[in-house]
Structure 1
Amino acid sequence: MKKGLASIKDVELGIQHIIADIISKDRDVLDLLHKLKEDANIWLTTSKSRPAKEAKTDNKKDVKKGRDGRKDNKDKAFVESKFETYFNFSVPIKSVKPYQVLAVNRGESLKVLSVKINIPDLVLHDLVKFCGRHWLCRGLSYSLRRRIIDQSIGDSYTRLIQPLLVRQVRSELTRKAEHAAVEVFATNLKTLLLTPPLRGNTVLGIDPGFRNGCKLGITSHTGSLLATDVIYPPFGRQINPDSDSSACKLKELLVKYNCKLIALGNGTACRETEAYLSDLIKNGWFYPLDVQFTIVSEQGASIYSCSPVAQKEFPDTDPNVISAVSLARRLQDPLGELVKVEPKHLGVGMYQHDVPEKELSCALDEVVVECVSFVGVDVNIASHCLLRRVAGLNSSRAEKIIEWRSNNGPFINRQQLKQVKGIGPKTFEQCAGFIRIIPETAQKKNTNSAENSSQRKKQKLSIDDTENPLDRTWIHPESYSVALRFIAKCGAKVEDLGKPDFVSKISITVTTAGLKELAEEFDVPEAQMKLITEGLKVTPEHDLRSEFQKPLFRRSISSLEDIHAGAVLTGRVRNVTHFGAFVDIGVGIDGLIPQSRLRNTRLRLGDRIEVKVFSLDIIRRRISLGLLRAL
């Protein structure tokens, strides 16, 4: 006889394990478990994990440990304080929030939390009844058979089925939470990318710092780099601006380039630099300029400044200074600058490091393409990073467009895109509606005009290179014939596109005839007719992003110590998650409005709101707010 089966008890145990395995894999049992799992009142319970037993060490190691012991204990206490809410936490899995699941998962991975899934006894009771009907009702009935099957059901549940249910519940909760986190990130990213641009303004970007100083980068109204510098403000010291070299350098730059706007990065030394600028503005140091500043997120700026893209754009510039230039451009054209950074580095998500990277990247890339396509791009000045995000284009095609632009000068019309290698009829159909031809940049002189002229003569151009005013709109070339017929019906000329009289004629015709009737007259869907009429009513300088919230500018700040519970303040929403919204109220740290105090209001990034301070924890630097109203 084999070892392990020397007694009847061992034989019965072996039979029990075989039957338990059969039960756990039976299709009918699995279907029952799925139904029970959906109906049962299963709870998620967490508690503070017990510290692991320390191994015995010799005295020398204990002495060595003592030197760093206090620091380690302080770091551990700091980490644990973040999960205090979950030290005695219990909630039905049907009511648990996505952010709670992600927080519990992170606490468990850091060995701070102990997590349990409590499955009610009703599941075992129903399983026993099912197995009795399924197996015991068949064949001979005798005590030994009943006993072994009853033991097998209990063993199968304890050893195989219950752990399976726990794994499935945890997996489903995590999957749903991760999906929700990706949705939050995508929604916030879309709002961030569609932040209105501040066109026509010269901007000074400041990347604050202590030891390495505050890096300065000033850009023209077109985003071109004008000057860079580094200053070392005397933080915490009262110095007359006249004897402060940093203040003098700032004033000299701002006055020289008539710059009234400052984009201040929100990284290290932001609070101190903010106070420094506020004092200078308050004392009238920049007079006669009315200087204002706004806080700009630094997320991803340092990564971009060290990237090949930045080095190619600024070949002889210090990467530290490039980040300041990027901050200024983020204010002038957020979309054009932020597309240079991988979306996951922009920091507008919830537990983004706990989400599968591939799923997050795919979702965020789709959002970027959607935003770029929504706004449209000027093909004659768009960067490679921007062009490759246009629907239908990729990195290779974007390079070919820039190469064609470099060799032949600016694109005069959309049809010339067909001359670019790699852009066939299908690609043109996908991207043409998102490409804009702006007259100001299309007529820009090319420095190599003689060389380009000879190259143009050698080419056999089969496409007309005359300007088409419709190319500056979002109307697709396939709809041009309908658009021209409609313009003729309005008694207008396409050459007058964007002029007040032209827009007036279009609006009157749409109001008088009606959109539905016009669609029937021109034999196109009503949605397409609406797109055409709306495109013809837009003025050339109109930007779709202008309908969204603009940045909040300041001339002074408050201190964390200056506010108190009950204070009513205004601020700007900086991040939106499932557990609440983070709001910049101008005190150096963002306050949190919990979901319970949002008053069923759906906030978005950039919204300007009025809030009330509910509680203030200066030591932990936490501000709890309540929403009063949206402004």
Structure 2
Amino acid sequence: MIKYIVEHTQLQEKSVRNTVELLNEDCTIPFISRYRKEATGNLDEVQIGEIVKFKEQFASLEKRKNAILKALEEQEVLTAELQQKIANCTNLMALEDLYLPFKKSRKTKAEKARQNGLEPLAKIIMSQNANDVESIAYKYVKGDVDSVDAALEGARHIIAEWVNERTDIRNQIRYQLERFAMLSTKVVKTKAEDENAQKFRDYFDWEENLSRMPSHRFLAVLRAEKEGFIRVKVLIDDTRALDKITQRIVRSQNACAEQIVLAINDAYKRLLLPSLVNEALQIAKDKADASAISVFAKNLKQLLLGSPLGEKRVMGIDPGFRTGCKVVCLDAQGQLKYNETIYPHPPKNDSIGAMKKISSLADAYKIEAIAIGNGTASRETEALIRKVHFKNDVQVFVVSEAGASIYSASKIAREEFPDYDVTVRGSVSIGRRLQDPLAELVKIDAKSIGVGQYQHDVDQLKLQKELDVVVENCVNAVGVNINTASKSLLSYVSGIGPKLAENIFNYRNEHGAFTSRSAIKKVPRLGDKAFQQGAAFLRIKGAKNPLDDSAVHPESYGVVTKMAKDLGNSVSELIGNSEQLKKIDLKKYCTETVGLLTLEDIIKELEKPGLDIREQAKEFTFNQNIKTINDLKEGQLLPGIVNNITNFGCFVDVGIKESGLIHVSNLSDAFVKDVNEHVSLHQQIIVKVLEVDIPRKRIQLKLHQKKV
């Protein structure tokens, strides 16, 4: 296993071995990457994630090997040579090729020919020594074989199966597919004018090299095929492929050779090509899935680590026209204090009454910021709020509503707000997203947040697994206030999980706030292992021991106490004291288990304990003259916010219903390898309008300037 992982990751063997040992001890990725740096050689969570991936891949390969060996033993066909070949296999494809000749189905044409006694004839033809094949075939005309032609056809079916089972031939076709395969599409004529088909118009008659096809385009083509708008074919040069096979098998020019060539053609069209084309498409799909999942994971990470406003009193507004705007007032901890509905827009048009209500609520609840959802009536509501004269300084933000409706109808929301309807819950979610995006977004299934490309078309299990890892890494990178965190947030803390999160939540409700990290051990079923994995990611504000509100692990408290004592300080006096911290000779505190990497982390944390790695939220204003796509003109410069990133560019909210696209070629004058190197999710930028296609509701933009 270690060799396999090292070959695939190119990481140091010692690092891999130690990491695997820690994983086998049920240590989590965040814990290993942060608190076991000496053991791993300072691997980060991405590298440890790769080790986990290939560890699981190796386990799946071994499981399949064992299943195949068992099947071969039952068939009594397992030889020492075959067993060795299976043992040496390092990929699933080669393993399945080895098993293919023994994976018989009784319904095949070859099997039927065998049952009719035609295998000896097939062997004679394959020897390529006989000239009068028909005379030999005549001897096999009996029973269900009623003619010489039927005998020869049956023999060819057996030969075709032999050709199909040859690993060298399968690999030769794979090579052709890998290098030269073209993916070709044709529109289904009866569907060409369908309104839903228009978004796939670019792929109605399309041809492209399969191996060079970008993931987003491949997934778009597959979706168009799935919805019945196009037909897809994979094409290679059949003549070249058949010549390559023939050269490997045919070594004479007699009647046997003629039969073998016919069998090769049959094997190629009926067995090899359909099977290997499906395999090539699956490989391309896996590659496209991996690319799309990677994009989603990067976007989700940026979204979860989005700028929080922090513990401030917030008014959340879910805007709407006919049904009004749902308004909630939240305290600094996100608790709902008041809710109301106002009707400033058509059909009621009570803008004056709405402005008075907003002003009086802001004053009564000492509101410091307003969060407006970015859905229907968002721009109109923002314009209204900006006309209100507040007594105190109130910041105004437009917040993404993505997934808010999913949350408001969820079990989590019903538990949090059993006495309120979905509209109130949605407004609360909008307000809380401004206070702390991470704490609120973890309550929503990551797939519902909508920051990816073709997320519904990729392998859902792989997507869910990857996104869960991203959420876990983000939660633990930021840390969690154990006395205010929801069950959802607590469940992502290293080593905790949903059941212990519920126990922590219930214990807190019953016994009040935790006053120390050691008190966490009193939670039912939270044992030493869970405490070791999770304690350092759980923060306790105002604790007697200031280290309880830091990322210093409890196992290192003794080291910090010794450092303080050696300097003649208390731990409290040492925290934030840069001059004293600089005096510490770290080598003096190194032990077998605590090395320089860990000690350097401790010093960084003592300088600024519990520091939030996220930037603080900044106010932003769209161009107030741009209300719809019809207001856009080529050449305009507009403020915008990046609201989605894909492999082919990024989408930007310029304050109207439709998002504009900055194609990858318009992000920079130089070549762009990775979109994420140029923009990040929710980044405030200035864009230039290049093109506006009103019928197709498409806006082409260029990155003009990044806002600081």
TM-score, scaled relative to structure 2:
0.74
Match of 2:693 among 617, 620, 628: 617
Quick one: which amino acid aligns to residue 257 of structure 1? Answer: Y
> Is 1:592 aligned to residue 622 of structure 2?
no
Whether the 8 Å contact between 1:566 and 1:613 is mirrored in structure 2 is yes
Q: Aligned residue for 2:633?
A: 564
Question: Structure 1 residues 210, 331: CA separation in 2 closer, same or farther (over 3 Å shift)?
Answer: same
Change in CA separation of 1:421 and 1:130 when aligned onto 2, cut-off 3 Å: same
User: Structure 1 stretch 300-309 or stretch 228-237: which is displaced more?
Assistant: 228-237
**How far apart are residue 553 of structure 1 and its match?**
5.0
2:599 aligned residue:
529
Look up the match of 1:341: 444
For residue 518 of structure 2, what is the aligned residue in structure 1?
415
Equivalent AA in structure 2 for residue 330 of structure 1: R
Partner of 1:298: 401
**Structure 1 match to 2:647:** 578
Aligned partner of residue 189 in structure 2, secondary structure: coil
Partner of 1:66: none
* Structure 2 contact 292–454 (Cα < 8 Å) conserved: yes
Confirm or deny: 8 A CA contact 1:597 1:627 kept in the other structure: yes
1:59 is aligned to none
Which stretch has the larger CA shift, 296-305 or 367-376?
A: 296-305
Q: Distance in 2 between matches of 1:260 and 1:483?
A: 39
Superposition pairs for residues 428-447 of structure 1, below 5 Å? 428-439=531-542
User: Does residue 1:214 correspond to 2:214, yes or no?
Assistant: no
Confirm or deny: 8 A CA contact 2:536 2:554 kept in the other structure: yes
Partner of residue 425 from structure 1, selected from 528, 544, 547? 528
Q: Is the deviation greater in 317-326 or in 412-421?
A: 412-421
Taking the aligned partners of 1:158 and 1:29, their CA distance within structure 2 comes to: 14
Kept in 1, the 8 Å contact 2:336–2:428? The answer is yes
Give the partner amino acid of 2:194: A
- Tell me how far apart the structure 1 counterparts of residues 227 and 350 of structure 2 sit (CA, whole Å): 50
Deviation at 1:550, TM superposition (A): 4.6
Mapping of 1:319-338 within 5 angstroms? 319-338=422-441
SS in 2 for 1:116: strand
Q: Deviation at 1:279?
A: 4.4
Q: 2:614 aligns with which of 545, 554, 558?
A: 545
Among 567, 572, 591, the alignment partner of 1:495 is 572
Q: Note the C-alpha offset of 1:611.
A: 2.0
Instruction: Assess if the C-alpha contact under 8 Å between 1:41 and 1:119 holds in 2.
Output: yes
What letter corresponds to residue 417 of structure 1 in structure 2?
Answer: I
Distance 1:554 1:83, change over 3 A: closer
Cα separation, 1, equivalents of 2:609 and 2:176: 61
Say which SS state the counterpart of residue 341 (structure 2) adopts.
Answer: strand
CA-CA distance at 1:330 after TM superposition: 0.6
Answer whether contact 1:330 1:338 (CA < 8 A) is retained.
Answer: yes
Task: Quote the Cα distance in structure 2 between the aligned partners of 1:175 and 1:522.
Answer: 43
The whole-number CA distance in structure 1 between the counterparts of 2:315 and 2:195 is 37
Contact residue 593 and residue 625 of structure 1 kept, 8 A: yes
Shift of 1:386: 1.1
CA separation of 1:146/1:240 partners in 2, compared to 1, >3 Å: closer, same or farther? closer
Structure 1 segment 375-394 matched on structure 2, within 5 A: 375-394=478-497
3-state DSSP class of the match of 1:328? helix
The number of residues matched between the two structures is 558
Superposed CA offset, 1:479-526 (max 9, x none): 112222223445542123655xx24432x336xx6x6x5665998322
**Aligned 8 A contact 2:690 2:701 in 1:** yes
Which residue of the other structure, out of 92, 115, 118, is the alignment partner of 2:235? Answer: 118
Structure 2 partner of 1:42 = 181
Amino acid at match of 1:538: K
Residues 308 and 240 (structure 1 numbering): CA distance in 2 closer, same or farther, change over 3 Å? closer
Match of 2:499 in 1: 396
Aligned to 2:310: 199
| Superposed counterparts of 1:345-360, under 5 Å | 345-360=448-463
Kindly indicate whether residue 372 of structure 2 is the aligned counterpart of residue 264 of structure 1: yes
Q: Distance in 1 between matches of 2:410 and 2:417?
A: 11
SS at match of 1:610: strand
Distance in 1, matches of 2:591 and 2:408, equals: 54
AA aligned to 2:667 is L
Give the superposition deviation at 1:235. 3.4
Among candidates 260, 270, 280, match of residue 169 of structure 1:
280
- Partners of 1:504 and 1:553 lie apart in 2 by 42
Alignment of 1:476-515 (within 5 A): 476-496=553-573, 498=575, 502-506=577-581, 508-509=582-583
- RMSD, aligned α-carbons: 2.6
CA contact (8 A) 1:205 1:328 kept: yes
1:381–1:287: structure 2 CA closer, same or farther, 3 Å change rule? closer
Partner residue of 2:246? 128
Of structures 1 and 2, the one scoring higher in RCO (CA 8 A, sep 6+) is 1
Contact 1:557-1:587 at 8 Å conserved across structures: no
Match of 1:21 in 2: 161
Superimposed CA distance per residue, residues 513-565 of structure 1 (whole angstroms, 9 cap, x where no aligned partner): 6x6x566599832210111001101155x31212x775635694623333311
Using a 3 Å threshold, how does the CA distance of structure 1 residues 31 and 195 change in structure 2: closer, same or farther?
A: same
Could you say if the C-alpha distance between residues 519 and 164 of structure 1 is closer, same or farther in structure 2, counting changes exceeding 3 Å?
Answer: farther
With over 3 angstroms needed to count, the CA separation of the structure-2 counterparts of 1:177 and 1:259, relative to structure 1, is: same
**Which consecutive residues of structure 2, in runs of 5 or more, have no partner in the other structure?**
1-140
Structure-2 residue corresponding to 1:275: 380
Q: CA deviation at 1:383?
A: 1.4
Structure 2: how far apart are the matches of 1:605 and 1:557? 25
Q: Determine if contact 1:549/1:607 at 8 Å carries over to the other structure.
A: no
- Aligned partners of 2:363, 2:183: CA distance in 1, in Å? 61
2:341 to 224, 230, 252: 230
Structure 1 residue matching 2:206: 3-state secondary structure: strand
Amino acid at match of 2:360: E
Does structure 1 conserve the Cα–Cα contact (< 8 Å) formed by 2:344 and 2:350?
no
Structure 2: distance between partners of 1:142 and 1:187: 60
1:624 alignment partner AA: Q
Q: What is the CA distance between 1:34 and its match in structure 2?
A: 3.3
8 A contact 1:182–1:360 mirrored in 2: yes
Q: CA deviation at 1:31?
A: 3.2
Assess if the C-alpha contact under 8 Å between 1:292 and 1:555 holds in 2.
Answer: no
TM-score, scaled relative to structure 1: 0.83
Task: Provide the rounded CA distance (Å) in 2 between the counterparts of 1:102 and 1:88.
Answer: 16
Deviation at 1:395, TM superposition (A): 1.6
Distance 1:623 1:226 in 2: 41
1:255–1:406 distance in 2 versus 1, CA, 3 Å: closer
Q: Distance in 1 between matches of 2:155 and 2:633?
A: 71
Which residue of 1 is the match for residue 679 of structure 2?
Answer: 603
**What are the equivalent positions in structure 2 for 1:452-491 lying under 5 Å apart?**
467-491=544-568
Post-superposition offset of 1:163? 1.3
CA distance in 2, matches of 1:551, 1:350: 28
Contact 1:550 1:606 in 2 (8 A): no
Letter in 2 for 1:596: S
Task: Give the counterpart letter for 1:103 in structure 2.
Answer: A
- 1:457 matched residue in structure 2: none
Return the letter of the residue paired with 1:529. L
Give, as a single letter, the amino acid of the residue that structure 2 aligns with 1:159.
Answer: R
Q: Which region of structure 1 is more displaced relative to structure 2, 607-616 or 23-32? A: 23-32
- The yes-or-no answer on 1:84 pairing with 2:201 is yes
Unaligned runs of 5+ in 1: 53-72, 443-466
The partner residue of 1:8 within 148, 159, 182 is 148
Are residue 98 (structure 1) and residue 241 (structure 2) matched?
A: no
Contact 1:492 1:505 in 2 (8 A): no
What SS class does the counterpart of residue 83 from structure 1 fall into?
A: helix
- Aligned partner of 1:61 in structure 2 is none
